[in-house]
Chain A
Amino acid sequence: MADQSMSEPNRRDFLFLATGAAGAVAVGGVAWPLISQMSPDASTIAAGAPVEVDLAPIAEGRAITLKWRGKPIFVRHRTAAEIEASKKDDASGLPDPQADAARVRAFEGKAQEQWVVVYGNCTHLGCVPIGFSGDYNGWYCPCHGSHYDNAGRIRKGPAPRNLDIPEFTFLSASKIRIG
Chain B
Amino acid sequence: MAEHHSSYVPKTGFERWLDARLPIVRLMHDSAVSYPVPRNLNYFWTFGGILMFMLVSQIVTGIVLVMHYTPHVDHAFQSVEHIMRDVNYGWLMRYMHSNGASMFFIAVYIHIFRGMYYGSYKAPREVLWILGVVIFLLMMATAFLGYVLPWGQMSFWGATVITNLFSAIPVVGETIVVWLWGGYSVDNPTLNRFFSLHYLLPFMIFGVVILHVWALHHVGQNNPSGVEVKNYKKDTVPFTPYATVKDLFAMVCFMIFFAWFVFYHPNFLGHADNYIPADPLKTPAHIVPEWYFLPFYGILRAIPDKLGGVVAMFASIAILAFLPWLDTSKVRSGKYRPWFKFAFWTFVLVSVLLGYTGSQPTDKVVLAIGGRTVMDMVFFAQILTAIYFAYFLIMLPLLGLIEKPKALPASIADSVLGPAGSGHIAGAHAAPPKH
List A residues at the B interface (Cβ < 8 Å): 38-41, 44, 48, 65, 67, 69-72, 120-121, 124-128, 141-145, 157-160
Are B306 and A159 interface neighbours, CB within 8 A? yes
Interface residues of B in 250-286 (CB under 8 A from A): 280-286
Q: Kindly identify, within residues 175 to 228 of chain B, every residue whose CB is under 8 Å from any CB belonging to chain A.
A: 178-187, 189, 193
Contact yes or no, A70 B280, CB < 8 A: yes
Compute the total of residue contacts between A and B using a CB distance below 8 Å.
Answer: 88
A41 & B185 in contact (Cβ 8 Å cutoff): no
Does B161 lie at the interface of the complex (its beta carbon under 8 Å from any beta carbon of A)? yes
CA distance A65 to B187 in the complex (A): 18
Q: A40-B178, A41-B189 are in contact. Are A71 and B184 (CB under 8 A)?
A: yes
C-alpha spacing A157/B305, complex, angstroms: 9
Q: Out of A39, A128, A158, which one reaches B283, CB within 8 Å?
A: A128
Q: Contact partner of A142 among B178, B184, B281, B285, CB < 8 A?
A: B285
CB-based nearest B residue for A128: B283
A67, B286: Cβ atoms under 8 Å? no
Asked whether, in the complex, the Cβ of A70 is within 8 Å of the Cβ of B187, the reply is: yes
Partner of A158, one of B179, B193, B309: B309
Q: Cβ of B287 < 8 Å from any Cβ of A? A: yes
Q: How many Å from the CB of A168 to the closest CB on chain B?
A: 15
Residues of A within 8 A of B306 (CB): 124-125, 158-160
CB neighbors of A among B306-327 (8 A): 306-307, 309
CB-contact partner of A40 in B186, B189, B286, under 8 A: B189
**Once the chains bind, are A44 and B189 in contact (CB under 8 Å)?**
yes
B97 touches A (CB below 8 Å): no
Cα of A121 to Cα of B282 in the assembled complex, Å: 10
Where the two chains meet, the residues of B that have a C-beta atom closer than 8 Å to any C-beta of A are: 157, 160-161, 163-165, 167, 178-187, 189, 193, 280-287, 301, 303-307, 309, 361-363, 378
Contact of A145 with B161 in the complex, beta carbons under 8 Å: no
Across-interface contacts of B361 in A (CB, < 8 A): 145
**Is A72's CB under 8 angstroms from B179's CB?**
no
Q: How far is the CA of A48 from the CA of B178 in the complex (A)?
A: 13
Instruction: Chain A residues near B185: list those with CB within 8 A.
Output: 69-71
CB distance from A76 to the nearest CB of B (A): 15
Contact A67 B280 (CB under 8 A): yes
Given contacts A39-B182, A44-B182, contact A143 B287 (CB under 8 A): yes
Given known contacts A72-B280, A127-B283, is B184 in contact with A48 (CB within 8 Å)?
yes
CB distance from A35 to the nearest CB of B (A): 8
Also in contact, A127 and B183, with CB within 8 A (given A70-B280, A142-B283, A143-B283) = no
- Beyond A125-B165, A145-B363, 19 additional pairs, beta carbon < 8 A: A38-B179, A40-B183, A44-B187, A44-B189, A69-B185, A70-B183, A70-B184, A71-B185, A71-B280, A72-B280, A72-B281, A121-B160, A125-B160, A127-B160, A128-B281, A158-B301, A158-B309, A159-B306, A160-B307
